[in-house]
Amino acid sequence: MNILVATSEVVPFSKTGGLADVCGTLPRELARLGHQVAVVAPAYRQSIECGQSNKSLHVDLDITIGQKQVRGGILRSQLPESDVPVYLIEQDDYYDRPQLYRDGNDDYKDNCERFIFFCRSVLELVRLLELDVDVLHCNDWQTGLIPAYLKTEYADTPGFDSMASVMTIHNMAYQGQFWHWDMLLTGLDWKYFNWNQMEFFGKLNLLKTGLVFSDAINTVSPRYALEIQSAPMGCGLEGVLAHRSNLVRGILNGADYSVWDPAIDSHIALNYTSDNWYAGKQACKQDLGQATGLPVSPEIPLVGVVGRLVEQKGVDLIGEVLKKRLTDSHVQWVILGRGDQKYQDMFLRLAAAYPEKLSVRLEFSDLLAHQIEAAADLFLMPSKYEPCGLNQIYSLKYGTVPLVRETGGLADTIVDTNEKTLAAGTANGFSFQSYQVEKLDQALERALQTYARKEDWSRVVLTGMKQDWSWTRSAKEYVWLYQESSARVQQTVHSESLT
């Protein structure tokens, strides 16, 4: 198949979160399966300075935005270690900025206009470069107008009329909502600004637009696909998704084992596999101790936390459990990430009070993230909601037992350890259901008790390390989704040609 992936960020050109990882890895896997794949993204300042070479195609994009014409260009690069082309939409007034979406803590005021330009440019790129596209894979609200343009302005254009659009939701909480007058900038008829299509409580909603006009909808785990079809996880769009439930799928994100594998990880002190995981972990634990100042010991369990320090990630629960556990238990903790100031201040105060039990690094460090995964015994992810989650998947590979709340992709990947699952050989972590401090603490206590039983702990570790959560399996599911969507569109085109 011929697939074009449209995204607002893609590793290694641009990144703020997991969306970039998905769009940097999935296309390579699709290409390995024999499909023709390309990626298109904005040419941010970050994209130009990322170290990847690119060249101008010397093609002008003249895009109508409301009452004005905006000119852009197209750069061509490729994903590393692949032949997958990456097209970067160049428009310095929109994209040559310090950050991708915001200035400090505030979103750019013209974000709607910036991504209207991007969506229109994607379709013009297909036309001008005469790309053969069967499926246009759109990702999150920044690409939500593409399915709408396909179904309206390009509906009768040869080649575009048979093109299927797939809309992937990476996080339902981010919807791209703007004031209603921005509808004028889209160039679409005002008739589409209604509660069934583009309007949402008086605002223009770009994610809703993509969900309504696309030929298929998916999100990044089967559990999350179900959760978002009802409140509160649907964030107000549960009715739209429930109405189109026959087209909604959940495909779990995969792990890039060329990057996240302790057997080949260049960031860690000693490479290890399931055959020598214990020795590997002890060496990595000592190395992390030197980096963080923690006086680590083989007998003291080390708990790792890596990610954004925001409420969604359950850091309020972690803080309360820490206050209790730091005073009366022999457990060490390392926390890496940045986020809300109140949580950062809380963790720093606790680290200052208990320097031999807690190390806190308020930064995003790829090196430290790898070192923590390799050294920790337990990895905490008590998320309030989690569309997929990747760290629990990385943790499994590193023999770092995940402790998660049973939601979204966490529920799809982690099997709670109990007598029954241990006997069946399926236990690979610990989980709890209710979003409560006591429930997290109880799950942590169960994990620590299991840690003390070395044979049981080893079984849990090895079960996780031997599981395959690679992108290869996920890519095959995406191919089925593409084929199904394309066949449905082709059938519609054929039926209409007969009438």
Length of the chain: 499
- Reported as a single tens digit per residue, the pLDDT across 424-479 is 999 999 999 999 999 999 999 999 999 999 999 999 999 999 999 999 999 999 99
Per-residue pLDDT for 494 more than 80?
no
Q: For the chain, give the mean pLDDT.
A: 95
Confidence label for 2 from pLDDT (cuts 50, 70 and 90):
very high
pLDDT of residue 299: 86
Confidence label for 213 from pLDDT (cuts 50, 70 and 90):
very high
- Reported as a single tens digit per residue, the pLDDT across 394-413 is 999 999 999 999 999 999 99
* Closest by CA position to 82, among listed 28, 34, 129, 13: 28
Cα distance between residue 251 and residue 253, in whole Å: 6
Report the pLDDT averaged over residues 274-299: 94
- Contact between residue 228 and residue 220 where contact means Cβ atoms under 8 Å apart: no
Q: Is pTM, for the whole model, over 0.85?
A: yes
Cα distance between residue 497 and residue 499, in whole Å: 6
Contacts of 405 by beta carbon, 8 Å cutoff, 6+ apart: 314, 381, 382, 383, 384, 386, 431, 432, 433, 435, 440
Per-residue pLDDT for 499 more than 70?
no
Cα distance between residue 312 and residue 289, in whole Å: 29
Domains and CATH numbers, the chain: 2-254+472-498 (3.40.50.2000), 277-468 (3.40.50.2000)
- Reported as a single tens digit per residue, the pLDDT across 81-108 is 999 999 999 999 999 999 999 987 799 9
Contacts of 239 by beta carbon, 8 Å cutoff, 6+ apart: none
Confidence label for 329 from pLDDT (cuts 50, 70 and 90):
confident
- Reported as a single tens digit per residue, the pLDDT across 16-57 is 888 999 999 999 999 999 999 999 999 999 999 999 999 999
Measured N-to-C along each axis, helices 277-292 and 454-465 cross at an angle, to the nearest 10 degrees, of: 90
pLDDT of residue 104: 79
- Range 124-136 burial, b when 16+ CB lie within 10 A, else e: bbbeeeebebbbb
pLDDT of residue 254: 92
Per-residue pLDDT for 497 more than 80?
no
- Reported as a single tens digit per residue, the pLDDT across 216-225 is 999 999 999 9
Confidence label for 492 from pLDDT (cuts 50, 70 and 90):
confident
pLDDT of residue 17: 82
Respond yes or no on whether the N-terminal peptide bond of residue 232 is cis (omega within 30° of 0): yes
User: Residues 11, 404, 474, 163: is their CA dihedral positive or negative?
Assistant: negative
Cα distance between residue 5 and residue 441, in whole Å: 42
Cα distance between residue 364 and residue 338, in whole Å: 7
User: Residues 15, 21, 22, 28: is their CA dihedral positive or negative?
Assistant: positive
pLDDT of residue 491: 87
Per-residue pLDDT for 391 more than 90?
yes
* Closest by CA position to 125, among listed 97, 158, 90: 90
Q: Strand runs (DSSP E) across 140-185, as ranges?
A: 164-169, 177-178
Report the pLDDT averaged over residues 332-355: 95
Report the pLDDT averaged over residues 161-186: 97
Cα distance between residue 406 and residue 393, in whole Å: 14
Report the pLDDT averaged over residues 387-397: 95
